Amino acid sequence: MNAKRAADRGIQVGMLPKGRLNKITDVPGVRVGHATIRDARHHTGVTVVLPCGDNMFKSKLTAASFVLNGFGKTQGLVQVDELGTLETPIALTNTLNVGIVHDAMVSYMAARCREDRVEMHSINPVVGECNDATLNAIEDRPVTAAHVMQAIADAVEDFDEGDVGAGAGTVCHGLKGGIGSASRQLMIAGKTYTLGVLVQSNHGCLEELTVCGRRLGEEILARRKAAPREEPNDRGSIMMIVATDLPVSDRQLRRILKRCSVGLARCGSYFGHGSGDVMIGFTTANRMPHGGMHRVLTQQVVTEHSLELAFRAIAEATQEAVLNSLCCADDVTAENGEVVEAIGRYL
């Protein structure tokens, strides 16, 4: 796996300080795991974001989502938006494997609740997807429950990026995309907080690819001696998972999530008709107990003015996460012999 991230290639994104790993897992307690499937017909897999180590159904996380363009098949967002909570890890996979991954997440949480002696009669797994049919025989649906359990078991802080897990078969701005991540640190009222982003990048068109102001897509087309299409096609999808330990309400979190779009735009996305641009976020700061019949909860939240720094941070982190998904990927060859090139050869 190509370990050269954007910063390793001399690409500097923004001015805010980064976390220790510059990944979503810089938020304390967050881990990420992959299960990757690679063979002659398949380049696909599953990636799971674990927000915490304890039972999320017993103690739910404040959460929100924002769908910029809804060309997607994500499960679980209706309840997230209604209740403002997250009660399972977040899984990412390909479009036709959403149902299988959802079922596996139900089994995982049911077993976890039995172990913890927590009564569970309903559960809301959150599963996102991108269509990786360019490089993957997606109709075979090779991802199984065992792959989901493997990703959960293998979850770590310093996880791989690029064409791994749910990013194994994705294409971003006409080049090999995948999983990418970045983080930023915020100082508010004398305390340091962290905000991290993980993307599954499968969106954009080559003509519009921009790397920190450099019109790299146009340069690549010139080197290939190919003319830009009269009508560029920004399609595919991108899943953006946001984690933070900033004490915010679900409404405030949704405001933050919307600014992921700034990072995408800086890379050249214009959110085309066929692009599903989905943002899902959680904070580890405000937990909600399961049940809570006739109870009053007291929570801390930052002021609205304090969100200004978070807006800037999410834009920077999303931009760098997309670039990391590109920079960490290698060339991948489809079953028909088509090669999707990595960005590294052009930087």
Angle separating helix axes 98-115 and 145-153, nearest 10 degrees: 60
- What string of pLDDT tens digits covers the 347 residues of the chain? 446 999 999 999 999 999 999 999 999 999 999 999 999 999 999 999 999 999 999 999 999 999 999 888 999 999 999 999 999 999 999 999 999 999 999 999 999 999 999 999 999 999 999 999 999 999 999 999 999 999 999 999 999 999 999 999 999 999 999 999 999 999 999 999 999 999 999 999 999 999 999 999 999 999 998 777 656 677 789 999 999 999 999 999 999 999 999 999 999 998 888 888 999 999 999 998 888 676 788 889 999 999 999 999 999 999 999 999 999 999 999 999 989 999 999 99
* CB neighbourhood size of 71 (10 A): 17
Nearest to 265 by CA among 219, 322, 336, 326: 322
How far apart, in whole angstroms, are the C-alpha atoms of residue 51 and residue 27? 9
pLDDT computed for residue 234 by the predictor: 72
Nearest to 267 by CA among 226, 230, 228, 216: 216
pLDDT computed for residue 59 by the predictor: 95
Nearest to 236 by CA among 196, 259, 218, 209: 209
- Which helix or strand (DSSP H or E) is residue 287 part of? strand 276-289
How far apart, in whole angstroms, are the C-alpha atoms of residue 317 and residue 195? 8
CB 31 within 8 A of CB 284: no
Q: Calculate ∠ Cα 322-200-308, nearest 5°.
A: 55
pLDDT computed for residue 226 by the predictor: 77
pLDDT computed for residue 1 by the predictor: 46
Structure tokens given for 135 = 């490089």
- Which helix or strand (DSSP H or E) is residue 245 part of? none
How far apart, in whole angstroms, are the C-alpha atoms of residue 63 and residue 146? 27
Return the active site residues.
Answer: 237, 275, 277
pLDDT computed for residue 236 by the predictor: 83
How many angstroms from the chain centroid is the CA of residue 246?
A: 18
pLDDT computed for residue 25 by the predictor: 98
Q: What is the 3-state secondary structure (H, E, C) of 27-64?
A: CCCCEEEEEEEECCCCEEEEEEEECCCCCCCCEEEEEE
Task: Name beta bridge partners: 128.
Answer: 92
Nearest to 243 by CA among 173, 321, 167, 169: 321
Task: Name beta bridge partners: 194.
Answer: 185
- Which helix or strand (DSSP H or E) is residue 182 part of? strand 178-188
